[in-house]
Structure formats: structure tokens, C-alpha cells
Structure 1
Amino acid sequence: MKQILIVAPAWVGDAIMAQPLYAELQRRHPGVAIDVLAPAWTRPVHARMPEIREAIDNPFGHGELALKKRWAIGRMLKARGYDQAILLPNSLKSALVPAFAGIPVRTGWLGESRYGLLNDWRKLDKDRYPKMVERFVALAVADGAPLPAGRHYPQLKIDPVARAATLARLGLDTASPIVACCPGAEYGPAKRWPARHFAEFARHRMARGEQVWLFGSAKDAEIAGEIETLAPGVINLASRTSLAEAIDLMSLAAVAVCNDSGLMHVAAALNVPLAAVYGSSSPGFTPPLTDHAEIVSLQLSCSPCFARTCPLEHMNCLNQLDAARVDAAVERLRPRPGQTDAC
């Protein structure tokens, strides 16, 4: 049985976009065992990918070298007898553990001049592979080979039993349509649609008889609390669910509104109709990978700047993007009478 170790990305959204690679590896190597070396906080998304045999915690923080610890993990993994390692991050440090483990084939983009650490290195052509998901899937095939045909859309599985338990624990009702709102963005405030706009949008949807659930981690509690104050009646789940629980609950949504964030990619991978709000970032590299998404952006001359905070100190790309524009996108996503989903 072929065994492959994946050194997976640290960001939740990037980890989700790697799932098409795992599906392609399974298609090419029936019976393959795929393990991922990844930060512990991404474990819930890997648990929802049936292609993954085991998630192994990667304990290293951003920029941490810790050579002795990497050597120790490499020697532990050597005993597993992996046939290949595929490295998705481009950093030199990410290549150390597979090299220390003596994995015979170590595949990845050259990145930070990783000659020697990789023995199946590829030189990235950004024009050929403009999207992150394409760069991941390309590592499943021989260097220079064409990408596999088809749409490379991530898919996450849900746990219906766990979902029912979470609904009961939180006292949630699914009788009326659910609008999922994800106001956070780990990267920084230049990717967060303002709370006042989220609140106005939520009031519009609740006036139509829909319920609005706010999703996010403890880091998003402040903006979610502000929305809750401005839009009484929303159900604030930020910091009240684990990531695994949020995945299950979001699958119940009729539509989602998300910033460019990990939860945006969760919604896309669940095939939930999605209005994706872009400010400082661009959908060109990491778009929501689904046929049921509307990109909402003002496309100002100053964006995308890819900054964490607005360098011009006005954040017009999001401040001027009003609730009516997002509301219109949501209406376009909702099924029309007699319309059916071909999927």
C-alpha cells in the first residue's frame, strides 16, 4: 500500500483548498494511505475529509525553526515508511521534517530554494497555475503534465449525529430559513466588512422571516457582539461552537455571507450558496470554489492591496460597500420558483 505524507497549510481556508489534491491522489493510487502533518487547529477540517487516514499535529509556530524538535519528529515519522511526501507550504522549514524522516520522494514547489531538501522539486509558473488549488493539484501529477480534467472543488463531509447534538445543546431551531453570516477574518481588519453593514443586512433578512446565525471563533466575538447589539434577534454563535460544530451547523444554511476567510471556504466546500465579500484581497488566487457563489466587491483602484490594515486609512473598499449590494447578491443566489439545482 502506497503511503503519502502531506505537509499541509496552516490556514484553515488553505487546508480546505488542499482537499482536491487528496481526492486526485486517491483516484491515481487506489488504496493509498494519506496522512497530513498540520497544525492542531486544522484537525476539524481534516476530520471531514474521508481521504485522510490520520492528521498528525505539527507543533511549530510561524517562523519557529526548532531544529531538534523537527529532527525528533522526522525520526518518529521515518518508522512509518512513507513512500512520498508532498509539501504544500513553500518555506524551507516545512521541508525539514520529510528530509529528516528520509522519505524517498519529496515533492513540492522549489519555494525558498529548497534544493537538496526536495528531490522532486518543481519551478512554479504562476501564469499556468494562477489559483492556489491548481498549484496543489499539480503536485499529484508528473512535473509539466497537464492538470487533471474537471473542476477542483473542495468537499467537506458533515456528521449528522454530532450536528443534531449541537442543535440541541444550543437550543437552535431550523424551522425558518437560516442565513449564515461570518463577520471575522483572521488575516486582518482590511478583510472585514464593517459590523454596521452586517447588522443592516441582518435586519433586512430577519424582516423577511429568515433567521441570521453569526459564526466565528473567540477572536470574532467583538465584531459579532457589535452586530448583535445593532441587529437584535440575530443568533450569535461566535465563540460558542468548535470549528467542527460550525461546519455541521453551516451546512443547514440556505445562504451564507462571508468575508474572505476560512469560513468562506467552509461554506463553499459544503456547497452552501455564498456571497463572498472582498475588500483588500482578490478572488483571483483563492476564490470560493463552488458554482454557487457571488463575488461582492467594489473593485476600487486601490484594491486589492493585500494589506492587513488599510494603508490609506479609509478602507473605502469595505466601508462604501453597503448592505443593499450584498442583499442583492443573496437574492440572486436564492432559487427562483420552479428552479432546481442541477447538482
Structure 2
Amino acid sequence: MSEVPERILVVGPSWVGDMVMAQSLFKTLKRHNGAAVIDVMGPRWSLPILARMPEVRHALTLDTSHGQFGLKARWQLARQLRGKYDRAIVLPRSWKSALVPFLAGIPRRNGFLGEQRYVVLTERRTLDRKVLDQTVKRFVSLGLPVEEGMPPSEIPVPSLERDPDNLASLVTTLGLSSAPRIGMMPGAEYGPAKQWPLTHYHALAARLVAKGYDVIVLGGPKDVEAGEVIAEGQQGVFNLCGKTRLADAVDLLGSCEQVVTNDSGLMHVAAATGVRIHAIYGSSSPAYTPPLTTDATIHTLALSCSPCFERKCPLGHTDCLNKLSVERIAASM
């Protein structure tokens, strides 16, 4: 008996790392119904990441500015989607995130309770934070029947496709050598309480260059100055912050032997390429948002004041990161 090709719209999250982790949901849906058709609605920046997920047929974008309600845009998109889906899975917990599936008349719409979403969702699940103690577990559980999803018994790991032709072009364009590479991601959009000191990154990069590695520093336009601090005075350290697209980061990270990274969106991108990860945690917790890979070393001091989940250290010293030594990271590589 052939499987019925269920048509599913997933309303995706707004953070890079969360969108990568959402691939675990897409894989789960495909495992339960290989004929399922999965489209994902997300921010425009997410298009290149979703394009590297073979489980996703189409990526849809909602043209509204960050924080803007955009009722007209939501209504227009909903009209285009009418009659095209059997089910919607809404990953964010905001009321407005569930509005497009509701206006589109998608018959089954499930998500976690939040912001009084009694009308816009047809299946409202209560979030048990103790049982679903990780973001990825929460995502995957929404794709399973209630009796199977608390917590999920199996979570497939994200695995982004790589483009060798794009990598070859990047190596030439960016002037990279044939030396083995180590990636560094010093940024963290959430705030400084998740960022290992740049002086530590600089010192670690010097050690790696002395061993014959090239070091590539990756991040967005906001991380350009951080990359300059790490690369200052060092041959073999390439500051690529702001010079690459998100899809380029997938290919560059996949070409590295190892990466050293804060708990950030790019950490999850790197994990999904299969590269070895050295993940540094300060104010956040590896128990909640770990890199989804078996090839990772977690570096955390587990001080009595952490994890505090604050953007800035409430005690003013950020010891959880400042006292995490270069020697410790270097010894594990």
C-alpha cells in the first residue's frame, strides 16, 4: 500500500541555530511518511540554509520587517496558500506566527500553547519543559502523535548538503591556501555573555598557525571587528566575517578539520556539516542547546553562577568565559 503524500507547512523559527535544528523535525516527518511534502515558511535569510535540506521542497518567505506585524502581507500569503496543505506545524510560540496557517484555512494546525493561541491552532499542546528539555526535542515532538512525542524516542541529527563546486570557487576568490583549516566563530547574536574573549581566540589562532594550520574566522557583518582582532599580525589567519553568505559558511565549515565556536547559530551550522566541534559555553547551557553531533567536545566551567542565560554577565566579571583557558581548548584539539 503506497503512502499518502501528506502536504505539510512548517512555520520555522527566526534564529539560525533553531532553523538548523528544525531539520530534525523534517527528517522525522519523512521517516514517518516518505511521501510527505514539506514546505517551510521562514525569514528571507533562511532560504540558503533550507536549500541545503533535501527534505524541504519549497521555502516560503513573509515580507515583513523584524518585529512588524504585517497583517496585509500575512493575509496575501495566506490567500496564496489556500487549499495547498493538509497540516501546519507552528514552531514559534507567538500568536502572529500561527496566523498565516489559520488565514489559509489549513485544516490541522498544531503547536505549543502561547499567547492565547486557542483559535488559530486546532491542536494546542502544553509544553512540559522538564520532559522536553531541549529545543530540538520540542521541534521533533510537534511532528509526532502526542503519545509518541513526549519525549521523542529518536532524534535524527541535522545534515546540511555541501557544494564542492562552490567551495572550490570560494578557495580561489578568498585566497585560501591548501593547508588544513581550523574554523573559528567568535560571534554570538544573543550577547557578550556567550562570547569567549577575542584575546583568547587570538592566542589560540597563533598556536594553530604555528602547527601549520590556516585559521578562517567566520561571522556576519557585525563580527568584522572581532575577526580583525583575531587576525591582527598573524599570517595564516583569514578574517572572512562579512565576506561570505550563509550557504558559503556551510561549505567552508565542512572543509575544516575542526572548529572552535561560541554557542551560536554557526555552531549548529558547523555541527550539521559533520566537522569536529569545540563548543564553548558561558551563560548558556549545553544541556538545552547542544551541538547535534557525536563529534563534539563541550567546554564549560560549570561555575555556581552559570548558566544564567543572561545577555550580559549580571555579576560584571564573565568568569565563566574569561577563566576558560586557551590551554584547555588547545589541549583537546
Same fold per TM (> 0.5)? yes
1:305 to 282, 300, 308: 308
Alpha-carbon distance, 1:120 to partner: 1.4
Give, in whole Å, the separation in 2 of the partners of 1:284 and 1:251.
25
Give, in whole Å, the separation in 2 of the partners of 1:156 and 1:232.
31
Equivalent residue number for residue 156 of structure 2: 152
- Counterpart AA for 2:272: A
Alpha-carbon distance, 1:172 to partner: 1.6
Alpha-carbon distance, 1:232 to partner: 4.3
Alpha-carbon distance, 1:192 to partner: 1.0
- Taking a change above 3 Å as real, the CA distance of residues 109 and 249 of structure 1, as seen in their structure-2 partners, is same
- Counterpart AA for 1:259: N
Give, in whole Å, the separation in 2 of the partners of 1:104 and 1:223.
48
Give, in whole Å, the separation in 2 of the partners of 1:90 and 1:204.
44
Gaps of 5+ in 2: none
CA contact (8 A) 1:199 1:230 kept: no
CA contact (8 A) 2:213 2:236 kept: no
1:86-110 deviation line (CA, Å, top 9, x unaligned): 0000111101111001000001111
2:85 to 82, 91, 98: 82
Residue 30 in structure 1 maps to residue 30 in structure 2: no
Equivalent residue number for residue 19 of structure 1: 23
Residue 224 in structure 1 maps to residue 227 in structure 2: yes
Give, in whole Å, the separation in 1 of the partners of 2:166 and 2:180.
21
* Structure 1 residues 187-198: aligned runs within 5 Å: 187-198=190-201
Gaps of 5+ in 1: 331-343
- Counterpart AA for 1:161: D
2:128 to 102, 125, 130: 125
Equivalent residue number for residue 185 of structure 1: 188
Give, in whole Å, the separation in 1 of the partners of 2:316 and 2:90.
37
Equivalent residue number for residue 318 of structure 1: 321
CA contact (8 A) 1:107 1:119 kept: yes
Alpha-carbon distance, 1:198 to partner: 0.1
2:57 to 50, 53, 57: 53
Give, in whole Å, the separation in 2 of the partners of 1:20 and 1:118.
22
Alpha-carbon distance, 1:290 to partner: 0.6
Aligned residue pairs, count: 328
CA contact (8 A) 1:71 1:100 kept: yes
1:191-212 deviation line (CA, Å, top 9, x unaligned): 1111100000111111111111
Equivalent residue number for residue 216 of structure 2: 213
Alpha-carbon distance, 1:162 to partner: 1.4
Give, in whole Å, the separation in 1 of the partners of 2:329 and 2:115.
40
Counting aligned pairs with the same residue, the percent is 47
2:146 to 128, 139, 143: 143
Residue 106 in structure 1 maps to residue 109 in structure 2: yes
Alpha-carbon distance, 1:313 to partner: 1.7
- Counterpart AA for 1:125: D
Equivalent residue number for residue 64 of structure 1: 68
Equivalent residue number for residue 296 of structure 1: 299
2:330 to 327, 330, 336: 327
- Counterpart AA for 2:157: Y
Equivalent residue number for residue 261 of structure 1: 264
**Does the residue aligned with 2:232 lie in a helix, a strand or coil?**
helix
Give, in whole Å, the separation in 2 of the partners of 1:125 and 1:177.
45
Give, in whole Å, the separation in 2 of the partners of 1:315 and 1:3.
47
- Counterpart AA for 2:206: R
1:121-173 deviation line (CA, Å, top 9, x unaligned): 11111111111111111111111324554343111111111111111211222
The root-mean-square deviation of aligned C-alpha atoms, in Å, is 1.4
My pick for the range that moved more, 162-171 or 261-270, is 162-171
- Counterpart AA for 2:34: P
Give, in whole Å, the separation in 2 of the partners of 1:184 and 1:245.
17
Give, in whole Å, the separation in 1 of the partners of 2:152 and 2:117.
26
Which TM-score applies when normalising by structure 1? Answer: 0.92
Equivalent residue number for residue 168 of structure 1: 172
Which TM-score applies when normalising by structure 2? Answer: 0.95
- Counterpart AA for 2:104: A
